[in-house]
Structure 1
Amino acid sequence: MNTLRRIAMIALWTLAGVGVLCGVVWGATAAGVIKPLIVISGSMEPGIMTGDLLIATKTAASDLEVGDVVSLPSELTDKLVTHRIVAIEAAGDGYLVTMKGDNNEFEDALDYSITGDVWKPEVQVPGAGSIVMRATTPAVAVPLLIGLVALLGLTLLLPAPEPRERTSRRARAQALNAEVAR
């Protein structure tokens, strides 16, 4: 029973740690400090693969250079497109950016007009985007939640291990000497 309780406690604390990490990521995302991005196409392969998780941070548009990989909102899809900058030029109070996916033959259909800050991927976690996508589907999330509740219940229902009586070395030595003296 003790072994089962220990395994349940290890699993519970591991999941609690993952939960805290998710909370920190959620908080940083809600505060606008980071933006997690899941790569859904092969346009940047082999450098950035489909299913990778990118963590982007805000960068001033004035700091961008040709060759940088950035995530900009597309007028065609209303979604962020993560591609490499192939040209950038000043345009009024902002910039006009031309981008192209590393694995694409041609530049993007439209140029991107930007001002202020843009998202620039700083961290790439290979394959983690696929895991996040799968874990957030109801078919996976609901059984995980049920399993977590079961683990919590298991740790609460199983009896706690009996505390062992602790004796000092001196007390053990005196007891041993008393036993030998008899």
Structure 2
Amino acid sequence: MVQLLCSNKVYEKLKQELSKYQIEIEQDGGLVLVENGYGIPSGKLSVVFDAIDYMDVVKLLVSGVREDIHYMNTLTGLSDNKFAVIEPRDILYLEAGPEGMMAYTKSNHYSIKETLQYYEGIWAAKGFIRINKSQLVNLLHVKEIIPWFNSRYVLRMDNLAELEVSKMYSKKLRNTLKM
């Protein structure tokens, strides 16, 4: 599906990241990812990127090219020895904790398999934003944004949970919400 024209080091990194999303690498793929400095093939759709920005290319592919895939539009979670298929709009936030990854809804919480980075990449277009090293929030369920000390914020969610936005992620929140 995707052809790569890049250095061996970037090729290995891209190969590993793309495999997480079941995006296949082919010698004659329809879309060509070209590292800056390599020749751009004629007659093919190409995306040129700097080596340091290879993760941005993965995010672009995952959020755009693969958005139609159903499994990315749902999440399967385990609660009380039962699995549930959950829509992203029903999730308030995701959290990485000592018991693993958890997805919180208004009425329940579920144990899930994937990482925060995975959902951050595929659900950014759905309104999910990272607020600290262990939480990803669905902005549709933020009831209030409370300014906090030291350039931080506290988000009060629909379920009245209060989540702290770290200083490192505050700027991204302000830019996203145009605050």
Per the TM superposition, whether the score is higher than 0.5 is no
**Which structure would you say has the larger Rg?**
1
| TM-score w.r.t. length of structure 1 | 0.29
Q: Which is richer in strand? A: 2
Q: Which is richer in helix? A: 1
Q: Which has the higher contact order (CA 8 A, sep 6+)?
A: 1
| TM-score w.r.t. length of structure 2 | 0.29
